[in-house]
Amino acid sequence: MDRNSVILVTGAAGFIGSCMVGYLNRKGYTNIIIVDEFDDENKKPNYEDKKIVARVDRNGLFDWLNDHPMKIDFVFHLGARTDTTEFDYAILEKLNVDYSKKIWNYCVEKNIPLVYASSAATYGDGELGYKDDHDLPYKLKPLNPYGRSKNEFDKWVLKEKKQPPFWAGLKFFNVYGPNEYHKERMASVIFHSFNQIKLSGKVKLFKSHKPEFKDGEQLRDFVYVKDVVDICYWLMNEKPTSGLYNLGTGKARTFKDLVTAIFKSLDKEPVIEFIDTPIDIRDKYQYFTEADMNKLRNEGYKEDFYSLEEGVETYVKNFLIEKKYY
């Protein structure tokens, strides 16, 4: 897509959305419409220095689009309520399902390609595996209302007869990286661990409450946000087969590996303390996630992913230490 293309990004004040805008700017795209709720001062540094053409409140987006008729060339719908501890499904249904349907229908009507954020939370406890096949969403049992809301939208999309000219629903695994400073409890383990080390010299990790896993050896597919936006950009330009795609590295690593990499980036010896997993999330806690990345690879994505050690070192040294933004 040429550099004059108009691109709309929802969730642009948030973590992945603001990194997407920063990435597009670095690639020479400045005709960007950013959409979010812009009333949180903590999010301001995520977007205030970005090159854009318009900033639109999420709640007024469709009125704004009616009042500003223009050709939009691509939509990244990365805005969502991402709180996995939100148990009021009505809130999640409104923000993650109904709003996403409006975005989808707008893209269908205006013939605009769309990439939207799904989540690995759709996979539940992983008993059915982590393949991004299109028959799987109907069998999945997400562990929390957030995962359920993402899966409901995926299921709705797969049944829709009318589709954008190209679409991809990305099942993000454990994404980490700059611009998550505002996320508080929902920020990545890397962010929290870094702050714990600065404060006390040690890191607290959840104990295992399953005998088959040792403490700290719960596994996750940790993916650096730079790889995430790289793939989003590739999808925008290449437009492979439409569908759901996993977005992780394809290689699960332990929380102990993760924390060890943070200590190493700070030239410190690891000091780890294990604490009970909070009761409110204990029975909804995933012990293993690993993206099956074959579909994206078979469609032609060739780039290597940051290893956990490379990603952590880049994040810690280039961003966290001086609280820099991407």
What is the domain partition of the chain in residue ranges? Answer: 7-176+222-250+289-306
Q: What is the pLDDT of residue 36?
A: 97
pLDDT for 231 equals: 98
Give me the pLDDT at residue 285, please.
Answer: 82
Beta strands 243-247 and 167-172, pairing class = parallel
Determine the pLDDT at residue 317. 97
**Average pLDDT score over residue span 283-292:** 89
* Best CA proximity match to 112, nearest among 124, 104, 120: 104
| Residues near 181 by beta carbon (within 8 Å), at least 6 away in sequence | 42, 45, 187, 191, 323
Match domain 7-176+222-250+289-306 to its CATH number in 3.30.420.40, 3.30.300.30, 3.40.640.10, 3.40.50.720. 3.40.50.720
Residues recognised as catalytic: 146, 183
pLDDT at 276 over 90: yes
pLDDT value, residue 91:
85
Sign of the CA dihedral with 189 first, then 192, 194, and 196 last: negative
pLDDT of residue 19: 98
Q: Which two tokens stand for residue 2?
A: 């040429």
Collapse the DSSP code of 258 into the 3-class scheme (helix H, G, I; strand E, B; otherwise coil) and give the result: helix
DSSP, collapsed to helix, strand or coil, labels residue 60 as helix
- pLDDT beyond 90 at 191: yes
Give the least confident one: 51-65, 173-187, 272-286, 290-304.
Answer: 272-286
